[in-house]
Structure 1
Amino acid sequence: MKNVTLGRTGICVPQNGFGALPVQRVSLDEAVVLLRKAYDGGMRFFDTARAYSDSEEKLGAAFGDGYVKRDEIVITTKTQAKTPEAFWKDLETSLATLKTEYIDVYQFHLMGQCYKPGDGTGMYECMQEAKAKGMIKHIGGTAHKLGIAKELIESDLYETVQYPMSYLASDKEIELIHMCNEHNVGFIGMKGLAGGLITNSKAAMAFISQFDGAVPIWGIQRDKELDEWLSYMDETPSMDDEIKAFIESERKELMGDFCRGCGYCSPCTVGIQINQCNRMSLMLRRAPSDAWLSEYWQEEMKKIDECVNCGACLPRCPYELNIPELLKKNLEDYRMVLKGERKVK
């Protein structure tokens, strides 16, 4: 496992980060065991967010009581605040729940604009003040829109940029890593498994390991998932002809207008679970079919018939997908599977 330096932050960590969004789905005790096992196994980079319900609290419980020395780990978190008042409230809450005196990288979460000094929002000035006070060490931003990510990098105001990155990324998206290196900005790769579509962790690890200056954060919820990532600490997969051929076949099958499952399109006005229903076709091919063909999901898929084409979801989609059309295609395919007219994996 190579060590990666995140741009001008100077942060140097093993290239295998822990994405703490999924730990909100397990108990406090389970989360503490999982997080400490990750640390004991060599992981040093832990990413969470104020929006991930009790994820910060669980990180605080795992590491805030002296189990590790504070400077032995890197903690990054995020705020969705849109006003200075909300910013300071989020920051104070994060420091308290994480049981820490400072946050290594504080990030604006899911940015719809690149905050800059003097833009009238006061948001970037909040980051500057928090850094001056020692409450945070570095300023970062996360984005799902390519244009916003580019602006963050080119502004030279942000020390890290977090963006979805997997072997299904387009060439334009992969170019972001090179841009970050040129601007001395650390790149944090989220959704390395494309929201569950990628099931070959070896190939995913080999892909991201090709790039300097990039730290991937793997969403980890189960012990067996952690074991898989920890196994790569000593024997990191590298890109070879076999993996390269596999990735090429995956890209041919999966790339294009597919839903990443981020959920930012929600809520739907008629209650459709867009982030799952909109990629049901792919999940049927790549996940055990019995789960997706259950009575529950059959009822959820039926809701697509109730779509009123209100368009509320369209401007929310970071990837500018035609969501109503994709939903209809997924429903048609789903019904073919139910009738036995199409086989699933």
Structure 2
Amino acid sequence: MRTITLGRTGITVPQNAFGALPIQRIPKEDAAQLLQCAYEGGMRFFDTARAYSDSEEKIGYAFGREGGIFKTGREHIFIASKTHAQTPQEFQNDLETSLRMLNCGYIDVYQFHQMDTCWKPGDGTGMYECMLKAKAEGKIRHIGATTHKLGVAMEIVQSGLYETLQYPFSYLATEKEMDLYRQVQKSGMGFICMKGLAGGLINRSEAAMAFMAQYDNALPIWGIQRMSELKEWLAYMDRTPEMTPELEAYIRDEKRELAGNFCRGCGYCMPCTVGITINQCNRMSLMLRRAPSQAWLTPHWQTEMEKINDCVDCRVCTTRCPYELDIPNLLRANLKDYQEVLAGKVSVS
């Protein structure tokens, strides 16, 4: 079984990790069964966040009960969580809440969530000092960072202050993002890869896995909600897909189709001043072509898409977008495509 070491943290785990954002959408018992099966199948790294509603609580329920792995072999499982805190008091509240929900004594990798700036010692915020204090107290083992913004990611790497970086990484990565991977590797940081399926746009897991397996320092966290999804990733633990000429050609075609101005669904643009669900509506055309379509054609999503007509071009969203997308015009293009699908002028799978 191929393993990944997260840089200087020394954490070494099997090549696929469990992204626990989706388990907030399923009942507690179902989540517990899924998590336990993931552990039994070989997964050892589980990523969650305070912002993922009851995800931490479900992990604590699955692993922290009497006889659970937190009680019998905590050193054999690694938990990463995150805080959106902007003040030291918020940081302390989030950390204590996470430890209580997770039902464990410490968090292996504690990360600042969706960073807009690189917190540093002495910058006047006290935020990085919170991490140092938590580490000294044994409440966390390693200090991590997550962001969708390439410039912030580069600054995090160059600072030398963080032990891991979590950043979107898939076969749709740009050359600048590939350079970020190389800089992370050179720095000795661990690289935790989110959005390995580009927020649902990539629908061939074999290709996604073959791409990721080429990078020794990259640990992908796959968002998992269903047992069928879990079984697919577990099957790749021992039989990892290799990059073949056929897969290379497939990925080249994918990159041509998806290159350029497409929404990654990160949500940095939110909230919209007039209530548009930007991070979903702005990639509706792609989702209709690449994901089962009926889920996107319900009355709910028809109503959400119609809200695009309310756009006032305030462009607050464009100032927040890490990919510098022309969001208002992309929204209108998506609405036009959507209306054509509803009118039967365009067919989808």
- TM-score with structure 1 setting the length: 0.97
**In structure 1, distance between residues paired with 2:306 and 2:184:** 43
SS at match of 2:109: strand
Aligned to 1:6: 6
The Cα shift of 1:245 comes to 0.8
Aligned to 2:116: 112
Aligned to 1:37: 37
Aligned to 1:55: 55
Residue by residue over 1:256-308, the C-alpha shift from the partner in whole angstroms, topping out at 9 and shown as x without a partner, is 11111122222222221111110011011111222222333222211111111
Q: Is the 8 A contact 2:145 2:166 kept in 1?
A: yes
Residue by residue over 1:50-79, the C-alpha shift from the partner in whole angstroms, topping out at 9 and shown as x without a partner, is 000010001111111232111110100000
The Cα shift of 1:225 comes to 0.6
Q: Is the 8 A contact 2:15 2:220 kept in 1?
A: yes
User: Which residues in structure 2 correspond to 1:58-69 (within 5 Å)?
Assistant: 58-65=58-65, 66-68=67-69, 69=73
Letter in 1 for 2:112: F
User: Which residues in structure 2 correspond to 1:139-288 (within 5 Å)?
Assistant: 139-288=143-292
**In structure 1, distance between residues paired with 2:304 and 2:84:** 29
1:90 paired to 2:128: no
**Runs of 4+ residues over 4 Å off in structure 1:** none
Aligned to 1:318: 322
**In structure 1, distance between residues paired with 2:240 and 2:104:** 32
Letter in 2 for 1:91: L
The Cα shift of 1:144 comes to 0.3
The Cα shift of 1:336 comes to 2.2
Residue by residue over 1:155-195, the C-alpha shift from the partner in whole angstroms, topping out at 9 and shown as x without a partner, is 11000000001111111112222111100000000011111
**In structure 2, distance between residues paired with 1:262 and 1:246:** 25
- Residue range with higher mean Cα deviation, 263-272 or 81-90: 263-272
Stretches of structure 1 that go unaligned for 5 or more consecutive residues are none
Residue by residue over 1:113-161, the C-alpha shift from the partner in whole angstroms, topping out at 9 and shown as x without a partner, is 1011111111111111111111111000001000111111111100000
**In structure 2, distance between residues paired with 1:217 and 1:291:** 25
- Alignment equivalent of 1:343, drawn from 326, 340, 347: 347
**In structure 1, distance between residues paired with 2:211 and 2:314:** 39
Identical amino acids, percent of aligned pairs: 64
**In structure 1, distance between residues paired with 2:23 and 2:258:** 28
The Cα shift of 1:312 comes to 2.5
SS at match of 2:9: coil
Residue by residue over 1:224-272, the C-alpha shift from the partner in whole angstroms, topping out at 9 and shown as x without a partner, is 1111111111101111111111111111111211111122222222221
**In structure 2, distance between residues paired with 1:331 and 1:216:** 33
Q: Is the 8 A contact 2:148 2:266 kept in 1?
A: no
SS at match of 1:4: strand
Query: Size of the alignment, in residue pairs?
Result: 345
- Residue range with higher mean Cα deviation, 267-276 or 134-143: 267-276
- Residue range with higher mean Cα deviation, 309-318 or 253-262: 309-318
**In structure 1, distance between residues paired with 2:294 and 2:75:** 46
Letter in 2 for 1:264: Y
Q: Is the 8 A contact 2:111 2:146 kept in 1?
A: yes
SS at match of 1:218: strand
Letter in 2 for 1:136: I
SS at match of 1:8: helix
Aligned to 1:81: 85
SS at match of 1:141: strand
**In structure 2, distance between residues paired with 1:26 and 1:290:** 20
**In structure 2, distance between residues paired with 1:140 and 1:247:** 30
**In structure 2, distance between residues paired with 1:24 and 1:289:** 23
Letter in 1 for 2:68: Y
Stretches of structure 2 that go unaligned for 5 or more consecutive residues are none
Letter in 2 for 1:112: D
Root mean square deviation, CA, Å: 1.1
Letter in 2 for 1:14: P
**In structure 2, distance between residues paired with 1:305 and 1:6:** 46
